[in-house]
Amino acid sequence: MSRLTTSQSSLSSLRDYDTKKTRSIPSPQGLVLRNIEDIRNQVAHSVALRAARKAEVQDGTKISVVLTLTKNDDERFLRKVASNIRQVMNQQQYLFAVATTCSSAVSDSTAVVMCGTSHMMVQRASMLACQKFLTRVSEVYNEGAMWIGFIRDMGETPYDESALMDALRKASQNLVDPALPPPGSRSINQILSDARARLERVTAIDAYEQLTDPDMYMPAVLVDIRPESQRRQYGVIRGALIIERNVLEWRFDPRSEARLPIANRYDLRVIVFCQEGYTSSLAAAALQDLGLLHATDIIGGFSEWVDSGLPMEVDEPPSEPSIIDPYSPLP
């Protein structure tokens, strides 16, 4: 009886061993097959960890640049990296740039992503990066806390990584008091207010009456300084001189060789207008600096002219002598 009990006990132990041994061998049905998407996710996570490990601290913000290889679909891969960076950095303040250095054979541009906890820092960094890679940026997607650009020949030279890092450093700098303006500087509102204090601004109706008054004691001209895009979109005033803002002073300075034939006297009444009446105030003040003390602008600009029911044209105007080519010398 004792021998039988011992045999049964040994058999039971053997069965337990066989059962454990069988369970330790994974069956084909239990295998987790990984697809290419799983591999890309793992690589994206590895890139995020690498960026976090090599990060340096700039005024309390961790900054890092990583260049990585990819064969295609750069943008989609970098979005995965940016998502992993957010998880890895958790609550830390950061500003990272990740760039791919090998794209598909059909394009020489590769994707660069900038991401961070601060929208403003990302925007500053992306603007600086565009200047660093001037003429090489071919496409941009701005999404607030994430910026994606496509840059030609990224990673061809050591300059590229250094340039990206420099953009991150400058974008993440905390000035002692960034809200304190330098001594002597003026805000655009102050500049505009000072300019208007010197002008006797006129309404659209007043301007129209002065221009059409047969007894006006000084010659008067109406000058449209709006860009072509606004003229096409909103319309024009036929007969007004169309002069680009960047050459206005040269066209009306009596001492300039590029002046208009009518700009031969300092008592000329130049009435300037833009779309809303802001840029025109600065332009009129600039003409007064030249000595044209009767120069002024229209309150409310072209919009006010239209609202006042004064003559204008919506359709594209034909080319005529009133449109002054800003780049051609006068005869």
Determine which helix (DSSP H) or strand (DSSP E) holds 67, and give its type and residue range: strand 61-68
> Who's near 219: CB < 8 A, 6+ residues apart?
262, 265, 267, 268, 269
> Who's near 280: CB < 8 A, 6+ residues apart?
225, 272, 273, 274, 297, 298, 301
Structural domain boundaries in the chain? 36-171, 188-307
Yes or no: is domain 36-171 CATH 3.10.310.40? yes
**pLDDT tens for each residue of 87-107:** 999 889 999 999 988 655 556
Q: How far is CA 52 from CA 82, 137, 168, 198, in A?
A: 12, 26, 14, 57
**pLDDT tens for each residue of 183-217:** 889 999 999 999 999 999 999 999 999 999 999 88
Nearest CA to 244 out of 260, 261, 224, 273 is that of 224
For the purposes of burial, counting CB atoms within 10 Å of the CB of 45, is it exposed (0-12), middle (13-18) or buried (19 or more)?
middle
CB 172 within 8 A of CB 114: no
Residue ranges of the chain with pLDDT lower than 50?
A: 1-25, 27, 317-321, 326-327, 331
**pLDDT tens for each residue of 227-266:** 999 999 999 999 999 999 999 999 999 999 999 999 999 9
CB 73 within 8 A of CB 40: no
Residue owning tokens 């990066």: 129
User: Which pLDDT value is given to residue 217?
Assistant: 87
Q: How far is CA 327 from CA 165, 241, 306, 323, in A?
A: 40, 15, 29, 12
The CATH code of domain 188-307 reads: 3.40.250.10
CB 140 within 8 A of CB 148: yes
